[in-house]
Amino acid sequence: MRFRAAALLLFLPLPFATAAPPPDLPGEELTDRQVFQQKRNHGDMSAAAIEDAIARASRTERSWLEGAMETWNAPPLYMQQATDGTIIPYGKGGIFVPTYTETSSEPDIEVFDLRDSLVASGQPGRTFALEPGEYKVMLGSGSRQQRIVKNVKVDEGAAQPLIPDWSGLVIDVVDEQGVALKGEYELVRIDEFDPYGRGYGASVELGETVKAWILKPGVYKILGVGEGYNTLTNFVTVRLLSGEFTTFLLIQDPNDFRIRGGGTIHLTPTAKLASNWLFGINVGINAQFNTEIDHQTELTASTFTLGGLLDAWLLYRKKPVEWSTRLRLDESINLTDEYLENMVNNPDRLLMSSIFIWRILDWFGPYARMESNTRVFDSKIKRASESGFCFTDADYVFHENIGLAGLDTTQVYTIEPAFSPFIVELGAGMNFDLTTRRYFEAKTRLGFGCAYSRYDDRYRIIESGKVKYVSEDSLEQKLLVLNSVVLFPEERVNILEVGPQASLDAAVRIGSLGSAEGEVKLFAPVLPEQRLTKPDIEFSGTLSWRLHRSLNLDYTYRQSLKRPAELDEPVHTSTHGIWLRLHYSNR
């Protein structure tokens, strides 16, 4: 009996053993770095070995989060929380969710209680004040099933920071000259073949910012629009690591949005010039010389190419103001057979742009922009036919021996003089993010813009089928035109259009079942002709259905209507596209 009582007294405290942790062990825990320093003091290791060991130990002791935070475009977590101005009411606690960017481009955060009721939502980078208790924080891109869920316990009087083990990704879309492009692409997680939908670049000249993806760590595939998920062409991949923010540069063809390349490189690396001022410059020169000899005909062909690139930019960033100016000169001299008159410049572009953005609120702010674009050298083309260049008059009539008409057999012909065209665009307006809910997003832009274009006397290449003849029975003239480059003369023209412009973007997501996205752009000039009732319209829309985990159906529609006064007939085009994509992998 005494033994049973003693045993009962022995095991009775066990249920309460977990109520409080045991006290810490006495003394101080020695790190590897401290051990090496003690060995150095006692002469147990050489000085060089000690310094190397201390450096390696320091790198090992450094937390993964410190390294990850260096990739963010926003301040570190502790600095974000220290500068957060949210006041937690008495009797409540809070959850602080850090942000990877400073442009409010990340998806909204949603906080649910244990009954799955939405209790708070908003942009990351702030504290959500809540009643003490347990909550689920939902964040990330994609449908509800694809988003990231974190369980958090809120204590009274404390703001619990959420340690970011998710990944961030922003994809800057540019053309092959490095100019920002509002292209489009699709994002898919490779290991699960899980599609996250379509993404777009940004019209930086209109004050837009690129949307950031918040995703689970892993390997993702960036596809050209319409490609199957198993495609081996028109794609690039990117690996996302826990807690890191990755900036990816995607190069696309502006005509069909096919992917030309991509990688985790910064197109505009910057150096600090002064407080809040950044600058950068890229200069590149390349030269190539080739000689080809046909020993049978004793003919020699030599080509020389000299290319150069100058890209400079100046940035000012201090919330809520952003201002950037960029100058880009892209030139290439192509010389054949050492004759200067046969020199062709391609590419040949001089671009200067400047934009000012004032983000009064996260969802609202004005912008103003300016952009000029021209060529530095004469625009020339090489003869690509046996006969050479032939000309028509303003009525498309070919006269073999009259005026501008006839035949020119030179190797290279100038079709447009230097600094033509010369284009200047100005604009100002307001950006509004109407809503950024995960199931519905909408933003609009209202502004006023003008564009001036000057084209000097020039020639335009036309098809031989448009040419008219003085005599329809002249077979000799028809053969001559068929084997020549046909040039049509165009007189100098100045085009100035001024008027209001607007756009609306919207996206609707119905869980993992499907999504709908659309964009409408309007431009209604009031000068030189008032076209408020006949504006230029551009529309693009996409419907996507996920019929099965391995089967997707997409439909796209685009329409463009432009009717400036200088055109005899409006330009009105539309396209439809349907893609049924089946994807399977045994991985």
DSSP track, 121-153: EE-SSEEEEE-SEEEEEEESSSSGGGSEEEEEE
Q: Strand locations in 319-377, DSSP E?
A: 321-336, 344-358, 364-374
Residue 203 lies in a domain: yes
What is the sign of the dihedral through the CA atoms of 241, 242, 247 and 248?
Answer: positive
pLDDT, position 45:
47
Q: For residue 468, which amino acid is it?
A: K
For residue 498, the cross-strand partners are 450, 527
What pLDDT, on a 0 to 100 scale, did the predictor assign at position 207?
67
Query: Residue 92 — pLDDT band, cuts 50, 70, 90?
Result: very high
Query: Using 50, 70 and 90 to split pLDDT, how confident is the model at 267?
Result: low
More confident residue, 30 or 109: 109
One-letter amino acid at 362 equals: D
| Alpha carbons 209 and 51: distance in angstroms, whole number | 46
pLDDT at 339: 66
Q: Model confidence over 385-424: pLDDT tens digits?
A: 667 888 888 888 886 654 445 677 777 888 889 999 899 9
Average of pLDDT values for 132-149? 90
- Taking residues 242-270, report their average pLDDT: 86
Whether the pLDDT of residue 307 is over 70: the answer is yes
Distance linking the first and last C-alpha atoms of the chain: 64
Confidence (pLDDT) at 244: 94
Surface-to-core class of residue 359, CB atoms within 10 Å of its CB (0-12 exposed, 13-18 middle, 19+ buried) = buried
Same domain, 193 and 238: yes
Q: Is there a single domain that holds both residue 205 and residue 150?
A: no
Q: d(Cα 184, Cα 200) in Å, to the nearest integer?
A: 4
Total tally of structural domains belonging to the chain: 3
Mean pLDDT of the chain: 80
Q: How is residue 298 annotated by DSSP?
A: T
Could you report the per-residue pLDDT of 483-494, keeping only the tens digit for each? 888 888 888 888
DSSP state of 466: G
pLDDT number for residue 150: 93
CA distances (Å), 512 to each of 118, 142, 145, 215, in order? 20, 8, 7, 16
Same structural domain for residues 157 and 172?
A: no
| Residue-level pLDDT at 319 | 76
411 falls within a domain: no
The whole-angstrom distance between residue 293's C-alpha and the CA centroid of its chain comes to 46
Is 221:240 a contact under the CB 8 Å cutoff?
no
- Give yes or no for a contact between 105 and 210, defined as CB atoms under 8 angstroms apart: yes
List b or e across 291-305, with b for residues whose CB sees 16 or more CB atoms inside 10 angstroms: eeeeeeeeeeeeebe
In a domain, 507, yes or no: no
Last residue of a domain, one of 252, 270, 304: 252
Residues 6 or more apart in contact with residue 193 via CB below 8 angstroms: 229, 549, 550, 583, 584, 585
Lowest mean pLDDT among 20-29, 97-106, 261-270, 513-522: 20-29
Which of 535, 530, 542 shows the shortest CA–CA distance to 197? 542
The CATH number assigned to the domain holding 90 equals 2.60.40
Q: Number of helices (H) and strands (E), helices first, in the chain?
A: 6, 36
In a domain, 78, yes or no: yes
Cut 0.85: pTM above it: no
pLDDT tier for residue 61 given thresholds of 50, 70 and 90: very low
Asked if 157 and 73 sit in the same domain, the reply is: yes
Among 47-51, 88-92, 508-512, 582-586, which is the least confidently predicted range? 47-51
Q: Which domain holds residue 124?
A: 67-161
Q: What is the 3-state secondary structure (H, E, C) of 83-113?
A: HCCCCCCCCCEEEEECCCCCCCCCCCEEEEC
Look at residue 2 and tell me whether its pLDDT is greater than 70: no
Please tell me whether residues 114 and 42 are part of one structural domain.
no
Whether residues 57 and 78 share a domain: the answer is: no
Please indicate whether residue 477 or residue 369 has the higher confidence score (pLDDT). Answer: 369
Show which of 198, 229, 252 is a domain's final residue.
252
Residue 40 pLDDT > 90: no
Instruction: Answer whether residue 114 is part of any domain.
Output: yes
Q: Among 49-63, 537-551, 565-579, which is the least confidently predicted range?
A: 49-63
Is residue 195 in a domain?
yes
pLDDT digits (tens, 9 = 90+) for 110-131: 999 999 899 998 889 989 999 9
328 - beta bridge partners? 311, 351
Residue 244 and residue 193 in one domain = yes
Per mean pLDDT, which of 101-105, 153-157, 341-345, 360-364 is the most reliable?
153-157
The residue among 103, 125, 553, 152 whose CA lies nearest residue 363 is 103
**Do 127 and 191 have their domain in common?**
no
| pLDDT value of position 438 | 67
Nearest alpha-carbon partner for 426 in 353, 320, 527, 502: 353
- Tell me how many degrees the CA angle 505-510-511 measures, rounded to the nearest 5: 125
Regarding whether 124 and 197 lie in a shared domain, the answer is no
Decide if 432 contacts 445 (C-beta within 8 A).
Answer: yes
Asked whether residue 58 is assigned to any structural domain, the reply reads yes
pLDDT in tens, 179-237: 788 888 989 998 777 888 888 888 766 667 788 999 999 999 999 987 887 888 999 99
Q: Is residue 486 part of a domain?
A: no
Percent of the chain residues past pLDDT 90, beyond the cut:
20
Query: How many C-beta atoms surround the C-beta of residue 467 within 10 A?
Result: 20
**Cα–Cα nearest to 98, from 22, 168, 38:** 168
pLDDT for residue 336: 73
Helix axis angle, 32-42 to 47-61, nearest 10°: 170
Tell me what the mean pLDDT of segment 347-371 comes to: 85
Last residue of a domain, one of 252, 285, 309: 252
pLDDT of the residue at 15: 41
Residues 78, 118 within the same domain? yes
pLDDT of amino acid 36? 42
* More confident call, 280 vs 37: 280
Given this model, what pLDDT does residue 225 score? 82
Tokens of 371: 């952009």
d(CA 246, CA 186): 17
pLDDT digits (tens, 9 = 90+) for 510-553: 766 778 888 898 888 888 888 888 888 989 888 888 787 777 78
Q: How confident is the model at residue 480 (pLDDT cuts 50, 70, 90)?
A: confident
Strand pairing partners for 389?
408, 485
pLDDT for res 57:
46
Which conformational region is residue 305 in: left (phi greater than 0), alpha (psi within -120 to 50 degrees), or beta? beta
Both structure tokens of 569: 């007939």
Q: What is the CATH number of the domain that holds 240?
A: 2.60.40.10
Among the residue ranges 15-24, 318-327, 358-367, the one predicted with the least confidence is 15-24
The Cβ of residue 571 has, within 10 Å, a number of other Cβ atoms equal to 11
Q: Give the per-residue pLDDT at 340.
A: 67
Of 20 and 517, which is predicted with more confidence?
517
pLDDT band at 310 (very low <50, low <70, confident <90, very high): confident
